[in-house]
Amino acid sequence: NTGDLVYARVITANRDLDPVLSCVDSQGRASGFGPLKEGLVIECSTHYARTLLARPPPPVLAAVGAKLQFELAVGMNGRIWLNSSSCATTVKIANIILDSQHVPSTEQQQWVKERLE
């Protein structure tokens, strides 16, 4: 529906035509694709979005994930969707993720631990 937030793969994008999206993976399974319900959308640079998508997960996500449960979808366009059990927790995680851009990766785990205390 118009206005929905969707986690999808862009199949084609053209200046003159509407983009074509797919909500299934290469094997025809949903695999987490589809409409994103509730949650919060934040924006970051595309460079930082790529950092968050790296394997293994960056220290900030590992440290937050060790303490709190949340869902996260990161787009290559710099948009991040997050959801957790409460609004307060979701906002706290969003602030940590956005603020950690300016913390060196070697210090992120300790920095997150201090923010969560």
How do residues 31-82 score in pLDDT, each as one tens digit?
788 999 899 999 999 999 999 999 999 999 999 999 999 999 999 899 999 9
Contact 24, 49 (CB under 8 A): no
- Cα Rg of the chain, angstroms: 16
Give the pLDDT confidence score for residue 81 in this predicted structure. Answer: 96
pTM of the model: 0.84
Nearest 5 degrees, angle CA 36-CA 48-CA 32? Answer: 25
